[in-house]
Amino acid sequence: MVHQLPTGARDLLPLDLLQKQWFEHRLQQVCHRWGYQPILTPTLEYLSSLLAGGTIDANTVIQVQGRNEEILGLRPEVTASIARAYGPRYARDANLGVQRLYYHANVFRWRGDQGQNEAFQSGVEILGARGVAADGEILYLLADCLESIGIGTWKLVLGHAGLTTALIETFPESCRRAIRVGVAHLDRVALEQLPLPDSLIDQVLTLLDLRGTPHEVFAKFTSLPWLPVTSLPELDYLQSLFHLWQGDCLLDLSLIQPFDYYTGVVFEVVLGDRILAQGGRYDHLLSHFHPRGTDIPSIGFCLNLEVLQQVCQPQLPQTFPPPDYLVVPQSEAELPAAFRLATELRLQHPKAIVKLALTPQCITQAKERGVSHILTVNDGDILEGGTSAGAAAQP
């Protein structure tokens, strides 16, 4: 019988994990410097928690039957789980204040035969903070994370979920859902076929094309004859954020999701056609888990580790570092002495390995790997590299 992995699953072998940990270590250092604390949420949650009041598409969740007939799911992302963990805490402690959190986690999204169902992310969240200062902190932290892993060229694409939603709500209610899906997927053909008058179709396509430099998009946006008056404060907010950021970016008001919990600024970091990171502001998500339904303003982002692994492959470790010492007993009778020696060596050096047989090929391979010292144990004597090492070979 041939045992195979389910479609969409894969094994992570030692080198895969070494490279994954390379990212996590660097990102963790950045988060610690910025004052963020680690959090780990469970892989399995109640399905109702993962759907977060309908803001996440149930079709993307891999569901599991619980023991007591309850429906569970594998988390498709981490933000809803963090909201579930902290919503009740804010209800219990009115002085909880701003929480800065980071995580490394695997997430699961049902893709059928279209790709990998399990992915790995590192991300951060600021809970309990609103305004340009919090949003700016997230963008600058994201830039610091990318710099720490050596991503030299990348592009920030910014949008505003509240602003785009306000534009969509100017259309007949019966078509809003279809417009949102079409804009999210950049599906011009589907939008052109909506059952709307030609004048409204033109407005929908204008919304689809509201992307470019901030100056270009602001000029287009403010000239719209159907611009909702309620969107002007959000436009002013975006201009304040761009003034704070002062870096290159694109403004794209079609940057939304068919189902999502974002309420304010949203963003992606792209390199060519690859999305390295994404995130945004979600001011209502924690209210689904707060006993009194109170909003807790929050914002965060996640980095897509598999994509980063592909982009950064030339600079990632390609082999494991060699041991400092290779300890070789000449016979089984020398094994106890060899293990004692290796134990003493590990008190002073990161790595010491015991190997049972010493052959010319063994020595050659060890030297090619960069092993600093090869010690042999024979009748109580310790020899280095096959010749007597004397006192220098002693740990």
CATH number (domain holding residue 362): 3.40.50.800
Domain boundary among 315, 345, 374: 315
User: Are residues 137 and 224 located together in one domain of the fold?
Assistant: yes
Per-residue pLDDT, averaged over 225-235, amounts to: 81
User: Are residues 228 and 372 located together in one domain of the fold?
Assistant: no
Q: Are 285 and 83 in contact (CB under 8 A)?
A: yes
Per-residue pLDDT, averaged over 319-333, amounts to: 83
Q: Are 356 and 362 in contact (CB under 8 A)?
A: no
pLDDT band at residue 3 using 50, 70 and 90 as cut-offs: confident
State how far the Cα of 122 lies from the Cα of 38, in Å rounded to an integer: 11
pLDDT band at residue 18 using 50, 70 and 90 as cut-offs: very high
State how far the Cα of 190 lies from the Cα of 200, in Å rounded to an integer: 14
User: Are residues 332 and 296 located together in one domain of the fold?
Assistant: no
Q: How many residues does the chain have?
A: 395
Domain boundary among 251, 284, 315: 315
User: Are residues 200 and 258 located together in one domain of the fold?
Assistant: yes
State how far the Cα of 184 lies from the Cα of 58, in Å rounded to an integer: 17
User: Are residues 189 and 261 located together in one domain of the fold?
Assistant: yes
User: Are residues 294 and 341 located together in one domain of the fold?
Assistant: no
Question: Looking at residue 74, which CATH number applies to its domain?
Answer: 3.30.930.10
Answer yes or no: is 5 within a domain. Answer: no
Query: Which tops the pLDDT comparison, 174 or 332?
Result: 174
Domain boundary among 277, 293, 315: 315
Q: How many domains does the chain have?
A: 2
Answer yes or no: is 6 within a domain. Answer: no
Angle at 158 between CA 154 and CA 161, to 5 degrees: 150
Answer yes or no: is 348 within a domain. Answer: yes
User: Are residues 123 and 157 located together in one domain of the fold?
Assistant: yes
Is the confidence at residue 36, as pLDDT, over 60?
Answer: yes
User: Are residues 227 and 355 located together in one domain of the fold?
Assistant: no
Angle at 3 between CA 2 and CA 4, to 5 degrees: 115
Is the confidence at residue 104, as pLDDT, over 70?
Answer: yes
Answer yes or no: is 4 within a domain. Answer: no
Phi and psi at 269, nearest 5°, equal -110, 125
Question: How many other CB atoms are there within 10 angstroms of residue 378's CB atom?
Answer: 14
Give the pLDDT confidence score for residue 357 in this predicted structure: 59
**What's the chain's average pLDDT?**
87
Give the pLDDT confidence score for residue 358 in this predicted structure: 59
Segments forming the whole domain that contains residue 370: 325-393
Answer yes or no: is 168 within a domain. Answer: yes
Percent residues over pLDDT 90 in the chain: 54
- Extended strands (E) in 195-351: 211-212, 250-252, 265-271, 274-281, 298-304, 325-329
Per-residue pLDDT, averaged over 283-302, amounts to: 95
Per-residue pLDDT, averaged over 146-174, amounts to: 92
Give the pLDDT confidence score for residue 58 in this predicted structure: 83
Give the pLDDT confidence score for residue 311 in this predicted structure: 92
pLDDT band at residue 348 using 50, 70 and 90 as cut-offs: confident
User: Are residues 231 and 342 located together in one domain of the fold?
Assistant: no
In 3D space, the residue among 8, 66, 94 whose CA is nearest the CA of residue 290 turns out to be: 94
Is the confidence at residue 175, as pLDDT, over 50?
Answer: yes
Answer yes or no: is 2 within a domain. Answer: no
User: Are residues 263 and 374 located together in one domain of the fold?
Assistant: no
- Considering only 38-42, 323-327, 358-362, which range has the smallest mean pLDDT? 358-362
Give the pLDDT confidence score for residue 159 in this predicted structure: 93
User: Are residues 169 and 53 located together in one domain of the fold?
Assistant: yes
User: Are residues 292 and 224 located together in one domain of the fold?
Assistant: yes
Strand partners, 123: 103, 302
- What's the whole-model pTM score? 0.88
Phi and psi at 273, nearest 5°, equal -100, 15
Answer yes or no: is 8 within a domain. Answer: no
**SS3 label, residue 73:** strand
State how far the Cα of 326 lies from the Cα of 111, in Å rounded to an integer: 46
Is the confidence at residue 391, as pLDDT, over 60?
Answer: no
Give the pLDDT confidence score for residue 389 in this predicted structure: 37
- Extended strands (E) in 235-380: 250-252, 265-271, 274-281, 298-304, 325-329, 352-354, 373-378
Answer yes or no: is 304 within a domain. Answer: yes
In 3D space, the residue among 178, 94, 163, 82 whose CA is nearest the CA of residue 126 turns out to be: 82
Strand partners, 329: 377
Is the confidence at residue 388, as pLDDT, over 60?
Answer: no
Residue 388's alpha-carbon distances to 53, 375, 376, in angstroms, are: 72, 9, 9
State how far the Cα of 61 lies from the Cα of 77, in Å rounded to an integer: 10
Counts of helices then strands in the chain (DSSP H, E): 13, 17
- Considering only 22-36, 101-115, 209-223, 376-390, which range has the smallest mean pLDDT? 376-390
In 3D space, the residue among 210, 213, 222, 218 whose CA is nearest the CA of residue 239 turns out to be: 218
